[in-house]
Amino acid sequence: MRINKYLAGCGVGSRRFCDKLVADGSVKINGKTVTEMGAEVDENNDSVTVDNRRVTYKRREYYIMLHKPKGYVSTVKDDLGRKTIMDLIDIKARLFPVGRLDYDTEGLLLMTSDGEVAQKLMHPSGEVSKTYIARIEGNITEAELQQLRTGVMLDGKLTNLAGVRLLDKDDKTSRIEIVIKEGRNRQVRRMLESIGKTVQFLKRTAEGELRLGGLTRGTYRFLNDKEIEYLLSL
């Protein structure tokens, strides 16, 4: 990385101002004064000082909310040649999906360049709530809703307590909201299938305090400062 870009990334000032610092002999790389504008810096290994005070490069981290559509896999690449969420992102940074949504599910998917944060959020101990809206065939009884709330058997183990409520229904379909704090594979679909329900549509609308809102399907936005602060506090 060129020295002026490195210094600007350290918060020293604009690149033009940093060029002046270099020309004035105020900058050292590994203890050696540099005066060439094109001097290169290894931001991971070199020590850089300005007026004998060490400066540190602040790598930008990305925190993104994507409205994943159906028909995309929640991975960086796919061996089967299917479309991935990376086809929807035009940021030249190494991004990690925070958890997954299956191929036929749409909705809120967090992505970040901060690998440490991604791992923390995906750890089973995190217990961050995830809210889904599901449309199923036919009607659902109060007894069946209660069964989903108290737990159904998946992979030989009961699911944890869930928040479940009926939103509306007609003669052919029912629409329900399900809030879970687990992250088993295809969990919401399998919970509904376990009580004999066929899922027509499934969408994740919230993750903790982060809400999808009116974000258009297939687009993304950067989290604001308040949302990032919440994310880092989890």
Q: 3: Cβ–Cβ under 8 A, 6 or more apart, which residues?
A: 18, 22, 27, 29, 34, 37, 38, 39, 40, 41, 48
- Residue the block writes with tokens 């991004």: 95
How high is the pLDDT of residue 96? 87
How high is the pLDDT of residue 124? 66
Q: 60: Cβ–Cβ under 8 A, 6 or more apart, which residues?
A: 93, 113
137-151 residue pLDDT tens: 999 999 999 999 999
How high is the pLDDT of residue 200? 97
How high is the pLDDT of residue 188? 97
Segments of the chain with pLDDT less than 70? 124-126
106-134 residue pLDDT tens: 999 999 988 878 887 777 666 789 999 99
Same domain, 88 and 16: no
In sequence order, the β-bridge partners of residue 178 are: 132, 164
Residues with a known catalytic role: 102
Same domain, 75 and 121: yes
Query: In angstroms, rounded to a whole number, what is the distance separating the alpha carbons of residues 115 and 140?
Result: 41
Range of the domain at 40: 3-55
Q: 44: domain CATH number?
A: 3.10.290.10
How high is the pLDDT of residue 5? 84
Same domain, 12 and 75: no
Same domain, 183 and 201: yes
H or E stretch covering 139: none
Same domain, 13 and 122: no
Same domain, 36 and 111: no
Q: 110: domain CATH number?
A: 3.30.2350.10
Same domain, 50 and 68: no
pTM of the model: 0.76
Number of domains in the chain: 2
